[in-house]
Amino acid sequence: METLEEPELCFPQLLNASCVKSKRPHFEAMLTYILLFSLSLLSAILNLLVIISISHFKQLHTPTNLLLLSLAVSDFFIGLLMFFQIILIDGCWFLGDLMCALYQYIDYIITSTSVGTMVLISVDRYVAICDPLNYTTKVTQKRVKVFVSLCWICSVVFQSLILQDVLKQPGRFNSCVGECIIVINYIAGLADVIFSFIVPITVIVVLYMRVFVVAVSQARAMRSHIAAVTQHPTKVTAKKSELKAARTLGVVVVVFLICLCPYYCVALTGQDNMMNASSAAFVICLYYLNACLNPVVYALFYPWFRKSIKLILTLRILQPDSCEANML
């Protein structure tokens, strides 16, 4: 006679109230644990290196790098939030309803800020490539600091309005003890998708399409005027550096879209409840992978980042006047 296997509970002492742990193969669960833990650790460490580099070395205090600093800060927090996602792999939340609401709230804020920073990066590259003569007057450190601050403040305010019901009464939508979910009404969800995904992504794509069209035309013009280039080396070097920066940040934007689009598409279609555990784990890992990949892109394309890493790891940044080092 076959015996039915009893489901494993998150809180065995609460027989009638506890949630049931999700069933998945042991190998798959361990692989997900290891992958998320590795991504979390790498994201936190690599983005911390970016934060220290741009904050410490004065030569890196440029408007574009301030935007990268904002992105690194949000990616650093995403790396820390991954530790909480690891807890949810088995479908059990052990930290209480209040911590669940705060976790979801901070996650929404960080994601919204990352998207907003990507928009600012796209605007920065658009002005640098399409209006280079006025770039230094239009894009200043002071203005960038103001817009970055507004980006963070708007994200906090917007997500506070979206999640106000969850914040007022944490755990109100939980059907059992050990569950960590949030439910927002249709209008709030629609507003979140429009202003956190559709509008920003449209702006990013349109601006970068324009940037690359202008960049290609400028590259052709430079190749066809070799004589003029040799007479004005400084001007051409500036153009080449802007084109290289546009290419590098273009890679960052493309990676961002590849990693986050599946997550937002699932949220947009509302099919998250119909996904199996493996598909959901893939979408989540891809979402978090973006925070780890950005510093890797910087290391591949930015010599100043590779140089700053050496100075940080060898503790040479502790030397007097190290902030004045030549990084470019």
Q: CATH number, domain at 313?
A: 1.20.1070.10
Six token digits for residue 229: 């280039």
Which ranges of the chain have pLDDT less than 50?
Answer: 1-3, 234-238, 274
Six token digits for residue 80: 């820390």
* End-to-end Cα separation, the chain, in angstroms: 75
Q: For residue 105, is it left (φ>0), alpha (ψ between -120 and 50) or beta?
A: alpha
pLDDT at 236: 45
Q: Read out DSSP for 206-229? A: HHHHHHHHHHHHHHHHHHH-HHHH
pLDDT at 235: 47
pLDDT at 1: 41
Q: Please tell me whether the overall predicted TM-score, pTM, comes out greater than 0.75 for this model.
A: yes
Contacts from 164-167 at CB under 8 Å and sequence distance 24+? Answer: 166/101, 166/104, 166/105, 167/101, 167/105
**305 within some domain:** yes
pLDDT in tens, 75-91: 899 888 888 877 777 77
**215 within some domain:** yes
Q: Is 186 exposed, middle or buried (0-12, 13-18, 19+ CB in 10 A)?
A: exposed
**3 within some domain:** no
Distance CA 85, CA 96 (A): 14
**297 within some domain:** yes
**243 within some domain:** yes
**10 within some domain:** no
Instruction: State phi, psi for 177 to the nearest 5 degrees.
Output: -75, 125
pLDDT at 240: 61
Give the dihedral sign, CA 84/23/291/298: positive
Distance CA 253, CA 259 (A): 10
**109 within some domain:** yes
pLDDT in tens, 222-266: 666 655 555 555 444 445 666 666 677 677 778 877 877 777 776
CB 283 within 8 A of CB 266: yes
Question: What's the domain range around 39?
Answer: 27-323
Residue closest to 200 by CA, chosen among 101, 116, 307: 116
CB 68 within 8 A of CB 50: yes
Q: Read out DSSP for 10-74? A: SSTT-TTTBPBPPP--HHHHHHHHHHHHHHHHHHHHHHHHHHHHHHH-GGG--HHHHHHHHHHHH
Residue closest to 249 by CA, chosen among 154, 129, 89: 129
**12 within some domain:** no
The count of structural domains within the chain is: 1
Distance CA 93, CA 102 (A): 13
